[in-house]
Amino acid sequence: MANTYTQIHLQLVFAVKYRQSLIEHSWKDELYRYITAIIQNQTHKLLIINGMPDHIHILIGMRPTQSLSDLMQHIKGDSSTWINERIFTKGKFEWQNGYGAFSYSKSQVPDVITYIKNQEQHHSKKAFMEEYLALLKQFEIDYDERYVFKDPL
């Protein structure tokens, strides 16, 4: 789009269905590369991706050529198909319904990158749900706890 200039930085957060710890260290980097390719193929800029066995954080520079919901459908749908085709898990792999998307100014990007980079260290002190609810509160997003990522089985 000629003469369209944007600066949209979004942190995307989503979880494995029932927050099960299914993302194994042995294939995590391969998954992150696959998701990176999805984002780049959709013409967005990946700044960082990292997570834990039960969830993922991604920071992107988003282009205004696609809706966020369409991008997330590609990321979650294509990556779950990819995981299942490779039989990385014993049963069918699925992502939890929904996601969080949080916007940041350019000046905040370095801090968000550090935060995502240090997920393992961060989660040694704070559980995923505690972290996620804190993000919702920090960004003043109304939510119904019945529909926030379901508890593990």
Integer Cα distance of 104 and 111 in angstroms? 10
**Strands, E assignment, 16-138:** 45-52, 55-61, 100-104
Which domains, ranges and CATH numbers included, belong to the chain?
9-147 (3.30.70.1290)
What local confidence, expressed as pLDDT, does residue 1 receive?
A: 58
pTM: 0.92
Judged against a pLDDT cut of 60, whether residue 153 lies above it is answered with no
What local confidence, expressed as pLDDT, does residue 9 receive?
A: 98
Place of tokens 């905040």: 108
Judged against a pLDDT cut of 60, whether residue 152 lies above it is answered with no
In this predicted model, what pLDDT tens digit does every residue of 3-60 receive, in sequence order?
888 999 999 999 999 999 999 999 999 999 999 999 999 999 999 999 999 999 999 9
| Residue 80 binned pLDDT confidence (cut-offs 50, 70, 90) | very high
What local confidence, expressed as pLDDT, does residue 124 receive?
A: 86
| Residue 140 binned pLDDT confidence (cut-offs 50, 70, 90) | very high
DSSP 66: S
- Give Cα 51 to chain centroid, integer Å: 8
Mean pLDDT score, 57-83: 97
| Residue 149 binned pLDDT confidence (cut-offs 50, 70, 90) | confident
Exposure string over 5-35, b if 16+ CB within 10 A, otherwise e: eeeebbbbbbbbbebbebbeeeebeebbebb
Integer Cα distance of 47 and 10 in angstroms? 10
The share of the chain scoring above pLDDT 90, in percent, equals 81
> What type of residue is 124?
S
Mean pLDDT score, 57-81: 97
